[in-house]
Chain A
Amino acid sequence: ETGVTQTPRHLVMGMTNKKSLKCEQHLGHNAMYWYKQSAKKPLELMFVYSLEERVENNSVPSRFSPECPNSSHLFLHLHTLQPEDSALYLCASSPGPGLLSYEQYFGPGTRLTVT
């Protein structure tokens, strides 16, 4: 595997379910990100992890819970979601930390539908 991978690619869940999104980067990077992309707000930064420490929580509701067990893996735990949470969830990584110049590398995303 190369680059940034995300699983599952598609997920349909009910509002009472609990599920997790997984992201893995094979680039040796130190920073990882979760973004939400919906029709209303194209790309919203949700969380930033640098060296496995959360450095940004962009006013995200507590029904989204991130976890970064090591610099290669990032999870987004979901529970009691709302239909408006349906979106494409993108994971990204960058060499980091604190380096403005590096581009972020994105995974293919998980298309989430909340019913």
Chain B
Amino acid sequence: AQKVTQAQTEISVVEKEDVTLDCVYETRDTTYYLFWYKQPPSGELVFLIRRNSFDEQNEISGRYSWNFQKSTSSFNFTITASQVVDSAVYFCALSEARGGAQKLVFGQGTRLTINP
């Protein structure tokens, strides 16, 4: 069965610190996709990034970067020079096809608090 584990339940750092959110996944599929979502206090999940299983290049988008390592089944997310607006719950997810539609398996989420 597919599984996503985010071992860090809560992280609290001071503004401008770098912070890394861990994500470990389990799957028997050879083709799969991984995602990160952000859920601010308003409740709506916001898509951040998608990565497919054949592309292990790291990606950087502004202060955000992602490290995908297939050998360790990990897809970690780093925020550089964190800001108060980064405070949110972050979810890692793995996609699988079920019955003709995509299904996302989510991790438990990591609540990130950036203190001023």
Contacts and interface: CB of A to CB of B under 8 A. Distances in A.
B52 A48 contact: no
A81 B11 CA distance: 34
Contact of B104 (A42, A51, A104): A104
Given A43-B91, A108-B43, A98 B103 contact: no
Interface residues on A, range: 20 to 34
DSSP class of B's interface residues: helix, strand, loop or mixed? strand
A88 B102 contact: no
Interface residues on B, range: 20 to 34
Nearest to B48: A103
A56 B99 contact: yes
Contacts of B97: 98, 100
B101 A96 contact: yes
Interface stretch (B16-24, B31-39, B67-75, B78-86): B31-39
Given A100-B33, A103-B35, A111 B98 contact: no
A99 B45 contact: no
5 contacts: A50-B101, A55-B99, A56-B101, A96-B100, A106-B44
Nearest 8 interchain pairs by C-beta: A55-B99, A50-B101, A106-B45, A43-B106, A103-B47, A108-B44, A109-B43, A31-B101
